[in-house]
Chains A and B, each alone.
Chain A
Amino acid sequence: MPIETRRSDDGKTLTICVEGRFDFSTHQSFRDAYEHSEPTVSHYVIDLSDTTYLDSSALGMLLLLRDHAGGDGARISIENCNSDVRRILSISNFEQLFSIR
Chain B
Amino acid sequence: MKVLLAEDSASDRLILARLVSRLGHTVIEAEDGTEAVDLFRETQPDLVLLDALMPRMDGMEAARQIKALAGERLVPLIFLTSLSGAGDLARCLEAGGDDFLVKPYNRVILEAKINAFNRMRGLHQALSDQRDHIRRQNQQMLDEQRTARRVFDNIAHTGCLDAPNIRHHASPLSVFNGDVLFAAQRPGGGTLVFLGDFTGHGLPAAIGAMPVAEIFYGMAAKGFGAPDVLREINRKLRRILPVGMFCCGLMVEADFKHNSLRVWNGGLPDGWLLRAAGDRVAIPSRHLPLGVQEPDQFSASMTVLDAAPGDWLVMMTDGLPEAPNSGGESLGEEGVLSVLAGLEAGQEPFEALLERMQQHTGKPELADDLTLCCLQMVRAEAPEAMPDKIPESALTGPADWRCVYELREQTLADFNPMPLLLHICMEVPGLRSRSGEVYTLLSELYNNALEHGVLALSSEWKTSPGGFSRYYQERTRRLGSTDGHFIRFSLEHQPREGGGTLTVVCEDSGDGFDFAEYSDTVMQQQSASTGRYAGRGLEILRRMTRNLKVHGRGNRVEIVYDWWFPDAAIISGA
Contact = CB atoms under 8 A, between A and B. Distances in A.
Interface string A65-101: 0010000100000000000000000011110110000
Nearest to A67: B243
A91 B245 contact: no
B245 A92 contact: no
B269 A93 contact: no
Contact of B245 (A60, A72, A93): A60
B246 A60 contact: yes
A63 B243 contact: yes
B285 A93 contact: yes
A93 B267 contact: yes
B164 interface: no
Q: Which of B244, B245, B269, B287 has the most CB of A within 10 A?
A: B244
A56 B199 CA distance: 6
Nearest to B199: A56
Contact of A57 (B200, B266, B285, B288): B200
Contacts of A59: 199, 246
B292 A63 contact: yes
B187 interface: no
Interface string A38-71: 0000000000000000001101110110010000
Given A57-B199, A57-B200, A92 B243 contact: no
A63 B266 CA distance: 16
B189 interface: no
A67 B292 CA distance: 11
Contacts of B266: 93
A62 B284 CA distance: 22
B248 interface: yes
A83 B285 CA distance: 17
Nearest to A63: B244
B121 interface: no
A27 B546 CA distance: 66
Contacts of B284: 91
Given A60-B199, A63-B292, A92 B267 contact: yes
Contact of B292 (A57, A91, A97): A97
Interface in B276-298: 284-289, 292, 294, 297
B299 to A, nearest CB: 9
A60 B246 CA distance: 8
A80 to B, nearest CB: 23
Given A57-B200, A60-B244, A94 B288 contact: yes
A72 B296 CA distance: 12
A70 B199 CA distance: 23
A59 B199 CA distance: 9
Interface string B239-262: 000011110100000000000000
17 contacts: A57-B200, A59-B246, A60-B199, A60-B243, A63-B243, A63-B244, A64-B244, A67-B244, A72-B297, A91-B267, A91-B268, A91-B285, A92-B248, A92-B267, A92-B285, A93-B266, A93-B286
Interface of A: 56-57, 59-61, 63-64, 67, 72, 91-94, 96-97
Given A93-B286, A97-B288, 10 more contacts: A56-B248, A57-B199, A60-B199, A64-B244, A91-B269, A91-B284, A92-B248, A92-B267, A92-B288, A93-B285
